[in-house]
Amino acid sequence: MLRYHVKLSKDTNDTILVEVPDVPGALTFGADREEALLRAPDAIETVLIGFVAGRRDIPMPRAGGKGPFVTLPALTEAKLALYTAMRTARVSKAELARRLNWHLPQVDRLLDLRHASRFDQLEAAFRALGKQLSVQVSEAA
Q: What is the pTM of this model?
A: 0.90
* pLDDT tens by residue, 26-48: 999 999 999 999 999 999 999 99
Give dist(CA 131, CA 45) in Å, integer: 24
* pLDDT tens by residue, 78-132: 999 999 999 999 999 999 999 999 999 999 999 999 999 999 999 999 999 999 9
Q: How many CB atoms lie within 10 A of CB 21?
A: 14
pLDDT at 72 over 80: yes
Cα torsion 126, 83, 68, 16: sign: negative
**CA dist 26 to 31, 36, 57, 87, 104, Å?**
17, 12, 15, 23, 29
